[in-house]
Structure formats: structure tokens, C-alpha cells
């Protein structure tokens, strides 16, 4: 089954393992920076070396449908702060939810308005999603902010039964989320995608490295 992998520190890894891939990534990052410059925003300088990045996720790759269930939950949670997620019925498709469909039309969510399969989030503060244009290509067609993505993950956390201290996820709560995933409590798809995205944001912001969807 085709799926999404979420990574951070990609350039530092490729420098050692795949120099040709590293050069391809540098070019893609430069193209994204041209769009940031056009928007009057700071540039992102991807680190070529990084320390070991320790993530608390069990899975950093998963079917695209997991991401769709998380987007659906966020669309409901931002509309109604009291909304609580329940497991989708067998055969129910998250992408057909009318609330998610309406949210997609707004083009203002960094979680929802992004390619399923490729693209970047940069550790820079900007509110509006950046789009490719006729002059500038952009991997995935859309560029998001790690800070804005984290804020949206914080918004949806209560709806998924996730407890945060402000915007911070404790080690104990991360372990509890992983236990819920392992136990398949009905929301495991949303939880896998949420934790992978949250941990990517945490490491992206801490180490000033891009989140890469691939």
C-alpha cells in the first residue's frame, strides 16, 4: 500500500548516504526559498549536519488514509472546540466528510492544505500557506510552516484525547499515545498521524530543519 513518510534532518542524512539525492534536495529547497523571498519572508537554511534526532513515534510512515482521518478531526475541532473524535465506521472515507471538504476550500490550514505525498514544512513563522506559481516550482505545490502546523495539532489534541502542557507533549503522554496505538483503541489512525506530525514539528523547530513529506 502506498503511504506517507514524514522525516526531519533529510539533508544531513543524504549528505552521508546519497550525495546525488542531497543535491536534488538542495535544489528543491532553493526553489522553495525563492517563493519565501517573493512573499517577503525569511529564508530557510537547512543544516547539513545535525546531532542524533530522537523521535518518540512508533511509526513515521503510514497509509495516506491516516493523514486524511487526522485532517478530518482537525476540521471538526476548529469548527467546534467541544467536538470529540469517534472511530470512523467500516467503509467510511474521511475525505468524503463535508466538514473536511469545506475546510479544504478555505486554503488556510497548514495541515489540510498540503500535498499528501511530498513537500516541505519550514521552521519559520508565517500564517498563510505558500503556493507554487507560474515562475517558481515547489515540491508538492504547497509549503507550510512547522509552527503553524504545530498550532493546528495543538488545536485538535483535545478531540483525540491527547493532553498537552501548553504546546508541549510530555514523555509520559507520548508513551500513552503509543500504548493507545498499540491497543488499537479505534482512533489509532488519527493518533499515528498526529504523533508523527507533532514529533516532526518538535524536532524541526528545535533543530531548524525542514519537515519533509515523501
Grouped pLDDT means (10 residues each) for the chain, 214 residues: 88 92 96 97 97 93 96 98 95 95 93 96 97 94 98 98 97 98 96 98 98 96
Place of cell 473524535: 85
- Predicted model pTM: 0.96
Q: Distance between the two ends of the chain, CA-based, in angstroms? A: 14
- C-alpha closest to that of 189 among 78, 83, 93, 80: 93
Cell of 9: 534532518
Task: Give the C-alpha separation, 56 to 214, whole Å.
Answer: 20
Amino acid at each position: 500500500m502506498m503511504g506517507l513518510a514524514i522525516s526531519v534532518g533529510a539533508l544531513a542524512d543524504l549528505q552521508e548516504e546519497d550525495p546525488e539525492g542531497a543535491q536534488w534536495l538542495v535544489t528543491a529547497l532553493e526553489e522553495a526559498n525563492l517563493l519565501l523571498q517573493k512573499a517577503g519572508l525569511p529564508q530557510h537554511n537547512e543544516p547539513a549536519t545535525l546531532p542524533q534526532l530522537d523521535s518518540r513515534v512508533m511509526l513515521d510512515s503510514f497509509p495516506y488514509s491516516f493523514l486524511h482521518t487526522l485532517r478530518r478531526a482537525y476540521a471538526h475541532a476548529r469548527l467546534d472546540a467541544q467536538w470529540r473524535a469517534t472511530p470512523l465506521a467500516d467503509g467510511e472515507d474521511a475525505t468524503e466528510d463535508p466538514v473536511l471538504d469545506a475546510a479544504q476550500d478555505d486554503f488556510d490550514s497548514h495541515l489540510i492544505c498540503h500535498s499528501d505525498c511530498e513537500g516541505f514544512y519550514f521552521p519559520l513563522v508565517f500564517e498563510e500557506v505558500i503556493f507554487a506559481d507560474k515562475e517558481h516550482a515547489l515540491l508538492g505545490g504547497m509549503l507550510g510552516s512547522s509552527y503553524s502546523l504545530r498550532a493546528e495539532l495543538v488545536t485538535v489534541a483535545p478531540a483525540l484525547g491527547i493532553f498537552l502542557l501548553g504546546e508541549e507533549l510530555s514523555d509520559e503522554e507520548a508513551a500513552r499515545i503509543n500504548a493507545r496505538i498499540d491497543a488499537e483503541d479505534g482512533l489509532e489512525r488519527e493518533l499515528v498521524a498526529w504523533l508523527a506530525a507533532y514529533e516532526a514539528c518538535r524536532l524541526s523547530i528545535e533543530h531548524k530543519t525542514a519537515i519533509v513529506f515523501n
